[in-house]
Amino acid sequence: MSVYIEIVHGDHEELDFEFFDEAGIAVDITGSTIFFTVKEELTDDDEDAIFQKIVTTHSDPEEGESTVVLTNADTSLPEMGRSYYFDMQIVDSNTLRHTPVVGSIVFTNEVTLT
């Protein structure tokens, strides 16, 4: 699934995700690790990412629910107004890798500067 995310530069954000199979049934993500990676270019190595969040504790794993927390420091790193690439990759307890979400993320200009 391709997604567009817009976040105000420097804001703390919590991105909630729910994972379902093709039949619309929640996927149990117990024991899974989520990698949320933001890069300037698709070909950049992971160590060159703008930032990467690794989530191992999920809000409701049996119902396929998890949250990726982006701190003020995370969202202050990228250049404002520019589009970046991101994906969310899940590695399950059997080490099978899935990438259910890809897309672009933009860090917009702040209006209030206090």
**For residue 113, pLDDT beyond 80:** no
Residue 96 sits in which domain range? 2-108
Binned at pLDDT 50, 70 and 90, residue 109 comes out as: confident
Q: What is the pLDDT of residue 77?
A: 86
Question: For residue 113, is it within any domain?
Answer: no
Query: pLDDT of 18-47, one tens digit each?
Result: 999 999 999 999 999 999 999 999 999 999
Question: For residue 46, is it within any domain?
Answer: yes
Q: What is the pLDDT of residue 1?
A: 77
Total domains in the chain come to 1
Query: pLDDT of 94-103, one tens digit each?
Result: 899 999 999 9
In sign, the C-alpha dihedral spanning 54, 17, 19, 2 is negative
CB 68 within 8 A of CB 14: yes
